[in-house]
Structure 1
Amino acid sequence: MSARAIDIQLVASTELIESCVADLYGTPNVDDQPSPGTTIAVDLEGINLCRDGQVCIVQLKSDTSKTVWLLNVTALGQTAFDHQDSHGRSIRTLLESTNIKKIFYDVRNDADALYNNHDIDMKSVCDLQILELAYWRQSKWMRTIFLNGLYRAVTVYLSPPPEWRRVKDAGRALFSPEEGGSYEVLAKRPLDPQLLQYCAQDVVLLAELEAKLRTGLGSSGTNWNARVDTASEKRVNEAKLSYRVPDG
């Protein structure tokens, strides 16, 4: 699914925060319970994304919705996470809920930034980079000592259309210093339309990527799934250390 085929909502008001929360929870229940089996795909963009940097955008998508929500943290600040709807629900309660599964691809910098800069203590996180590593290691005929980035994982397992690569390249050209861009563009408003597409398209694919990898685990999946959950939690909790754990 391309970013152009979905509904992209840039959230820059408390009213839209409430609409975002309602869509992600998928139910008006007041007891912090989402629709059964709900999974939320999450990604972050920012400047030097870690405890020493700045979160600019948080991308969120429920597997039961066609809408990608781009939380404009640059404009909203802490309100983006803490504004509550009439049921007491917020982006914070969603990210910290043990009842709502969140999927990331390499959660380390995201968790580091959210915990140290916004006091978000995430729970029930699955890191698909760990799941992808498990997919390789459980196969007797496949071995790897490398962690793959999201770009490679998407191209290997999902065979995305040329449009996906075009949007990816256009976005990178705007913010990647190696390609003449600057990460500062992520904090500029209004956000460049090409960055809107860039931010939205990856989070759309995370649920499909997870399904592909879990299917590939086959009959050995139960044991590996537990190990993935443990390793994912460890990555999230590294944000609580007094020093930053480098990627790699």
Structure 2
Amino acid sequence: MAQPQHIFVDTPEAVASLLSLVPKETTSIPSIYIDLEGANLGRHGSISLLQLFISIIPHIYILDIHTLGQSAFTTPSLIDPLTTLKTVLEDPSIPIVCYDVRSDSDALYNLYSVSIANVVDLQLYEAATRTGPRTLLNGLSRTIRTHSNLSPLEARKWEQTKQRGAQLFTPEKGGSFEVFSDRPLPKEILDYCVQNVQQLPWLWQYFSRKLEKMDERWKALIETETQARIALCREEYVTEGRQRALAPLSFRSFPSHVTKNP
């Protein structure tokens, strides 16, 4: 799998330039995939980086939120003064694909007043399309290991990149999440950020194909649970700990068959 070009964005001018490339036309295939990194990502922490993959180019933009702050979301496009990253993320006609929107949405809303709108949450897609138990949610790394189209060599390289990055930010391994705010950004962290968001378009295609073969009610369940996840950012308290690892109750109680009704 060829790696898309990636560009580090740390000036308002660079933000304006990349916004001019955001596709205006809406299609059945999403074009925008995001992932966020930070220390204690959420309302009580910070956003250091926002990875934005525009798949039809294809380029991955690593936005330096630590440096840009609010200007990352309010700087207008070079070609349309009404278009900002905030308006893109809040546009109900633009699907934004991510993996587990909860912490991302909580941080965007409470730290930068960005109400992410049209979310495609691949964590819910993965849980819904399983043929086995749906009790627990899987993280992105496990999903990539299980479902990606990486060759054995690519899988080994992916794992090595993940481990080098994790060594720097995982407290249990002697690292710190503050490394996402180090400048210059360590290459190991940059590579880690790129490869995670790089996998999202393929995972969307994979799970979408599986979902098309399933009972139509699953799409409604996924949409309901996605909206519930987005709404969490406006609640006074957020769930922490093991509760976040549980799949939605509606997923756990739905019949396990995966084919459409006759």
TM-score, normalised relative to structure 2: 0.85
Cα contact 1:34–1:99 (8 A) shared by 2: no
Aligned pairs for 1:104-143 (under 5 A) are 104-136=98-130, 139=131, 142-143=132-133
Specify the SS of the correspondent of 2:44: coil
Cα contact 2:37–2:50 (8 A) shared by 1: yes
Instruction: Give the aligned partner of residue 155 of structure 1.
Output: 145
Quote the Cα distance in structure 2 between the aligned partners of 1:196 and 1:81.
Answer: 21
Instruction: Give the aligned partner of residue 67 of structure 2.
Output: 75
Letter of the structure 2 residue corresponding to residue 70 of structure 1: I
Quote the Cα distance in structure 1 between the aligned partners of 2:218 and 2:17.
Answer: 36
Q: What do the CA deviations read for 1:23-69 (whole angstroms, capped 9, x no partner)?
A: 2x22xxxxxx4353443111000000010000000001122122100
Instruction: Give the aligned partner of residue 36 of structure 1.
Output: 27
Q: What do the CA deviations read for 1:53-109 (whole angstroms, capped 9, x no partner)?
A: 000000011221221001100110000011112412111011100011011111111
Instruction: Give the aligned partner of residue 101 of structure 1.
Output: 95
Quote the Cα distance in structure 2 between the aligned partners of 1:133 and 1:239.
Answer: 22
Cα contact 1:95–1:120 (8 A) shared by 2: yes
Q: Cα distance, 1:195 vs. partner?
A: 1.0
Q: Relative to 1, partners in 2 of residues 1:215 and 1:221: Cα closer, same or farther, differing over 3 Å?
A: farther
Quote the Cα distance in structure 2 between the aligned partners of 1:97 and 1:69.
Answer: 19
Cα contact 1:126–1:228 (8 A) shared by 2: no
Ranges in structure 2 where 5+ consecutive residues have no aligned partner: 246-262
Cα contact 2:128–2:134 (8 A) shared by 1: no
Instruction: Give the aligned partner of residue 39 of structure 2.
Output: 47
Quote the Cα distance in structure 1 between the aligned partners of 2:215 and 2:202.
Answer: 17
Specify the SS of the correspondent of 2:216: helix
Instruction: Give the aligned partner of residue 189 of structure 1.
Output: 183
Letter of the structure 2 residue corresponding to residue 21 of structure 1: L
Poorly superposed stretches of 4+, deviation over 3 Å: 33-38
Cα contact 1:44–1:57 (8 A) shared by 2: yes
Quote the Cα distance in structure 2 between the aligned partners of 1:13 and 1:6.
Answer: 21
Q: What do the CA deviations read for 1:126-172 (whole angstroms, capped 9, x no partner)?
A: 11111111001xx4xx2231101101101111153211111111110
Q: CA RMSD in A?
A: 1.5
Q: Cα distance, 1:221 vs. partner?
A: 5.4
TM-score, normalised relative to structure 1: 0.90
Cα contact 1:168–1:198 (8 A) shared by 2: yes
Cα contact 1:96–1:121 (8 A) shared by 2: yes
Identity %: 31
In the alignment, structure 1 residue 178 sits paired with structure 2 residue 168: no
Quote the Cα distance in structure 1 between the aligned partners of 2:49 and 2:215.
Answer: 33
Quote the Cα distance in structure 2 between the aligned partners of 1:118 and 1:241.
Answer: 16
Specify the SS of the correspondent of 2:195: helix
